């Protein structure tokens, strides 16, 4: 029988952590984390589509003792999910990336570091145990890209995710209204916003305002923060061509995945490139409000890449059962972004651990209830949706 802790009582689910983070961090930071593209239809569709994935349990079988351990890329992870890359997560809670990375390490799960994280490749390598993967936003300066890859390799990262679903600048009305930049542009409203969230403000004062640590080595000396933010916008390549992906493939000796795949045709191009896997993702609904959800895209992508290439999926996971649903649909592994960072923002330094603890317990409970011992058995329990005739 599991022990119910004080944290379990206060935050029994990811939804409770979401309510907690909303109350604890300034509105501009919460809105940055929550926002989708446009009217947020895609963000909501991710959640709704998962809710509509039904599984058929079996009960009159041998007693089930779920084993969540999942082998992937030469390691056995304690469960088939990890923490997705989140840029600027130091705004959600000071030292957000380290908190999430350490929590993933303690739990035996992978943590993906964003190029736009507020902790450097090297700092996260030191805080983890070979379980950190690196996500690349490709700079348009080839030497900078080569250097980022070299730093990641030297620091011991073995898995690279190249994000392709940000081909250009996207208008985000809340960030524009809130004047969100790094560091935040202070005006009277931002100051009132921060004063109303003293725990966040004190923690931020103690740790210092977050910066894009991975990229600061490339800033011209004497660059102000505002100039730095502009510099990062200017160096972003945006659209990633097949040629660029081929070059990255040649430069990266480890495992390489392409993140942001939704179309079968794109999946086919990834097979041609010889990458080890794809991440079926619509970026948490932040890029294209009309984009299909991973739930809808997985079957087509899986059909293109075949059974052996790795398929990781993300978007809308808010409980352990959602992880089981993604795997039942055909994913080998799942990434969670907001669910984990809700914990980080709601609780602080042990918040990533609590969010992961909830997801692990719920996944184990789901597998026991469905009647499967391993995640690999989940696809057999997927109940096909009746289609309207
Ligand atoms: C605040 C925030 C920042 C993100 N930053 C990045 C990023 O830097 N690189 C990236 O590839 N994806 C980024 N993503 C997308 C996530 O990696 C992931 O694909 C998506 O959020 C999964 O959906 P979920 O938040 O519903 O779990 C970000 C998502 C959020 C919410």
Answer yes or no: are the C-beta atoms of 172 and 269 closer than 8 Å.
Answer: no
Q: What residue spans define the domains of the chain? A: 6-381
CA of 281 to the centre of ligand 1 (A): 9
Predicted local distance difference test score (pLDDT) of residue 388: 47
| Global confidence as pTM | 0.96
CA of 283 to the centre of ligand 1 (A): 5
Q: What percent of the chain has pLDDT over 90?
A: 83
Neighbour count for residue 263 (Cβ, 10 Å): 13
Cβ within 8 Å of residue 31, ≥6 positions away: 174, 175, 178
Pocket mutation for ligand 1, best pick of 283, 313, 315, 355 (most atoms within 8 Å of C-beta):
283
Nearest-CA neighbor of 360 among 77, 102, 125? 77
In which residue are the tokens 């250009």 written?
A: 168
Range 217-222 average pLDDT: 84
Two tokens, residue 288 = 């294209």
Answer yes or no: are the C-beta atoms of 21 and 345 closer than 8 Å.
Answer: yes
Taking only the tens place, the pLDDT of each residue in 7-48 is: 999 999 999 999 999 999 999 999 999 999 999 999 999 999
The domain made up of 6-381 is a member of CATH 2.60.120.380: no
Catalytic site residue 283? yes
Taking only the tens place, the pLDDT of each residue in 117-137 is: 999 999 999 999 999 999 999
């Amino acid at each position: 029988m599991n022990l119910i802790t004080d944290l379990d009582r206060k935050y029994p689910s990811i939804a409770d952590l979401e309510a907690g983070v909303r109350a604890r961090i300034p509105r501009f930071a919460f809105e940055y984390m929550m926002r989708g593209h446009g009217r947020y239809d895609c963000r909501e569709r991710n959640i709704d589509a998962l809710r509509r994935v039904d599984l058929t349990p079996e009960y009159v079988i041998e007693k089930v003792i779920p084993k969540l351990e999942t082998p992937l890329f030469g390691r056995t992870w304690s469960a088939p999910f990890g923490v997705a890359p989140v840029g600027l997560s130091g705004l959600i809670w000071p030292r957000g990336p380290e908190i999430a990375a350490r929590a993933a390490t303690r739990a035996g799960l992978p943590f993906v570091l964003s190029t736009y994280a507020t902790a450097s490749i090297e700092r996260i390598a030191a805080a983890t145990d070979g379980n950190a993967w690196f996500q690349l936003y490709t700079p348009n300066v080839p030497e900078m890209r080569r250097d980022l890859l070299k730093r990641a390799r030297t620091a011991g990262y073995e898995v690279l995710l190249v994000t392709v679903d940000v081909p250009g600048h996207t208008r985000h009305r809340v960030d524009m209204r809130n004047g969100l930049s790094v560091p935040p542009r202070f005006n009277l409203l931002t100051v009132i916003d921060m004063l109303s969230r003293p725990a966040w403000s004190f923690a931020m004062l103690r740790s210092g305002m977050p910066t894009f640590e991975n990229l600061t080595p490339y800033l011209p000396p004497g660059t102000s923060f505002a100039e730095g933010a502009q510099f990062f916008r200017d160096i972003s390549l945006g659209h990633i061509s097949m040629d660029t992906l081929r070059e990255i493939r040649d430069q990266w000796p480890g495992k390489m995945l392409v993140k942001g795949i939704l179309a079968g045709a794109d999946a086919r191009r990834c097979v041609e490139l010889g990458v080890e896997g794809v991440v079926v993702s619509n970026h948490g609904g932040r890029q294209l409000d009309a984009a299909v959800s991973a739930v809808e895209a997985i079957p087509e992508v899986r059909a293109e890449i075949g059974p052996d290439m790795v398929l990781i999926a993300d978007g809308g996971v808010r409980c352990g059962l959602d992880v089981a649903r993604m795997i039942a649909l055909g994913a080998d592994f799942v990434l969670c972004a907001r669910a984990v960072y809700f914990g980080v923002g709601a609780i602080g330094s042990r918040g990533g651990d609590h969010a992961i603890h909830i997801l692990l317990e719920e996944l184990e409970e789901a597998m026991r209830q469905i009647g499967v011992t391993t995640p690999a058995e989940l696809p057999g329990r997927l109940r096909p949706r009746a289609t309207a005739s």
